[in-house]
Amino acid sequence: QKEVEQDPGPLSVPEGAIVSLNCTYSNSAFQYFMWYRQYSRKGPELLMYTYSSGNKEDGRFTAQVDKSSKYISLFIRDSQPSDSATYLCAMNWGNNRLAFGKGNQVVVIP
Amino acid sequence: EAEVAQSPRYKITEKSQAVAFWCDPISGHATLYWYRQILGQGPELLVQFQDESVVDDSQLPKDRFSAERLKGVDSTLKIQPAELGDSAMYLCASSPVASGGTYEQYFGPGTRLTVT
The 10s digit of each residue's pLDDT in B59-115 is: 999 999 999 998 889 999 999 999 999 999 999 999 887 554 567 889 999 999 999
The more confidently predicted of residues A1 and A74 is: A74
- Please name the amino acid found at residue B83: E
The shortest C-alpha distance from B63 to chain A (Å) reads 23
Structure confidence at residue A1 (pLDDT): 64
Q: Do A96 and B102 touch (CB under 8 A)?
A: yes
Three-state SS for B115? strand
Write out pLDDT tens, residues A60-110.
999 999 999 999 999 999 999 999 999 999 998 766 788 999 999 999 999
Please provide the average confidence, as pLDDT, over all residues in chain B.
92
Q: Do B42 and A90 touch (CB under 8 A)?
A: yes
Three-state SS for B10? strand
The more confidently predicted of residues B83 and A31 is: B83
| Substitution target from B9, B37, B105, B113 for chain A, most A beta carbons within 10 A | B105
Closest residue, chain B, to A100 (C-alpha): B42
CB proximity list for A8: less than 8 A, separation 6 or greater: A101, A102, A103, A104, A105, B40
Which chain A residues have a beta carbon less than 8 Å from that of B110? 41-43
What gap in Å lies between CA A4 and CA A78, rounded to an integer?
27
Q: Do A96 and B45 touch (CB under 8 A)?
A: no
